[in-house]
Amino acid sequence: MVSILSEYQKWIGEWNVSTFPDSTLSGHMAHLELEINELSEAVTAYCNNSSDDNKKSVQMEAADILIMLLSLSHKIGFDLLTAASDKHRILKNRTWNPPDEFGIHHHIAEDIVA
């Protein structure tokens, strides 16, 4: 599936490879974990005060994560949009439990027939 996001992934990925030629997958994942923590902090701040500044912080941290995911996908060699579309088809066909104590909806495990 070639799309604007696929083209953007290629552009971001090529920039990432040329700018950080010595980056590794483990380093990339460590950086992604830092960005996820920063997004979590920004969302918490936004929940406490939905100011424009806090909203902008959420936007910037979410953008960092998207860029990191696009770079990772490029580095490994798969199209993130295609992967997300494939996974979403699976998610749509699952049955979901009510949220747990953390607000997370877990899917009901399918019976595996041997």
What is the average per-residue pLDDT within 92-104?
91
Q: Which CATH number fits domain 4-92: 3.90.1150.220, 3.40.50.880, 1.10.15.40, 1.10.287.1080?
A: 1.10.287.1080
List the beta bridge partners of residue 96. 107
Residues 6+ apart with CB under 8 A from 42: 54, 57, 58, 60, 61
CA distances from 48 to 10, 40, 45, 57, 113 (A): 37, 12, 5, 13, 47
DSSP state of 77: T
pLDDT for residue 1 is more than 70? no
Amino acid letter at 29?
Answer: M
pTM of the model: 0.86
Domain boundaries, the chain: 4-92
